[in-house]
Structure 1
Amino acid sequence: MSALWLNIGSLLLGVFAWSLPIINLLKERKSDENQLLVAVTSLSACAISLCLQMYYTYHKLIIEDWAALMDTMATVIYAASVLVAVTVFLNVVMVVKFRNRYYE
């Protein structure tokens, strides 16, 4: 049962990591406060999401579920790569957008 929560937590944190910069980019505000905090929180959520996936993989290793590991590892690696790439991209776009607004 705890392994299920590792996957759910990882998924929710991944969605949270993407939603923070997206929501922040869509908001129109006059002040640019806390942009760095939003970026750090988003990247931290991404990192914790990846850690939960590593714990899930370790759980499968401990219970020796080799079939599950062999079936899912390629997808997990692809999903983790997409999660990191999109999270970094969104946060860079957010920081650049608000930095440019600050210097105008």
Structure 2
Amino acid sequence: MIELTEAQEGKILRRDCRGWIELMAQAWYESGHAGADAYPGDALITHLRAVYDACRDANMENMDDVSLLGFNVLRANTARCGADDVTALVDYFIRHARSGNAAYAQAWIDLYLEEA
């Protein structure tokens, strides 16, 4: 088995994160979501990077769930939710996704964002 140095692992993680953010940005701007076109690129990168890091720190490996959370964060920010609300949304989703209940969390997040 090949052993990677810490620097090599970091480089791989950065490359994976960058690739995921590029795919998410393209999907977001093409989504037709109200306000998607007006989302500043630098903020989008910052917000998606925070999602990626939070999911990595929580050992979430299901990229479908990570991507769904990324869209939730972008939707919440578009709805002008406060930073504390977005953080709570991320924590809520991660907690449920880690126990296999991402769909349950998503249903409640959808309801919350409809009211925001």
TM-score bracket for this pair, using the shorter chain length:
0.3 to 0.5
Whose radius of gyration is greater, 1 or 2? 1
- Highest RCO, 1 vs 2 (Cα 8 Å, sep ≥ 6): 1
Structure having the larger proportion of residues in helix: 1
Q: Give me the TM-score of the superposition, normalised by structure 1.
A: 0.32
Q: Give me the TM-score of the superposition, normalised by structure 2.
A: 0.30
